Amino acid sequence: MKLSTGHRWMLAMLSLAVTGSFSTAMAGDPGPANGESIYNRFCIYCHGEKGEGDGPAGALSGVATGDLSNKAYMSQLTDQELHDRIAWGEEKYPYLQMPGWRTSLSEDEIRAVMKYVRTLAVDKGPLTTPSPKERERKFNTDPLERGRVYYLHYCSGCHGKSGHGDGDAAKNMTTKPVALSNPGIAATITTKSVNDYLTARKQRKDTRNMPIFEDDFKDKVDEIVLYIKTLAKTK
Give 131's Cβ-side CA count (13 Å radius): 10
Res 15: pLDDT: 41
For the stretch 34-58, pLDDT in tens is: 999 999 999 999 999 999 999 988 8
**In this structure, are residues 39 and 113 in contact, taking their beta carbons and an 8 Å threshold?**
yes
Longest pairwise C-alpha distance within the chain: 62
Orientation angle between helical segments 143-154 and 132-141, nearest 10 degrees? 100
Residue ranges of the chain that CATH labels 1.10.760.10: 6-133
Helix (H) / strand (E) element for 152: namely: helix 143-154
Res 210: pLDDT: 75
Exposure string for 47-72, b = 16+ CB within 10 A, e = fewer: bbeebbbebebbebbbbebbbbbbbe
The pLDDT assigned to 110 comes to: 96
pLDDT number for residue 6: 41
Cβ contacts of 187 within 8 Å, gap of 6 or more: 232
Domain 142-231 in CATH 1.10.357? The answer is: no
Closest listed residue to residue 152, CA positions, set 80, 102, 209, 90 = 90
Distance CA 35, CA 50 (A): 14
Fold of 6-133: Cytochrome Bc1 Complex; Chain D, domain 2 (1.10.760)
How confident is the model over 75-86, as pLDDT tens digits? 999 999 999 999
Among 132-136, 176-180, 213-217, the least confident range: 213-217
Average pLDDT of span 170-195: 87
Query: d(Cα 187, Cα 27) in Å, to the nearest integer?
Result: 60
In order of 65, 69, 153, 177, 220, the CA distances from 166 in angstroms are 20, 30, 15, 8, 23
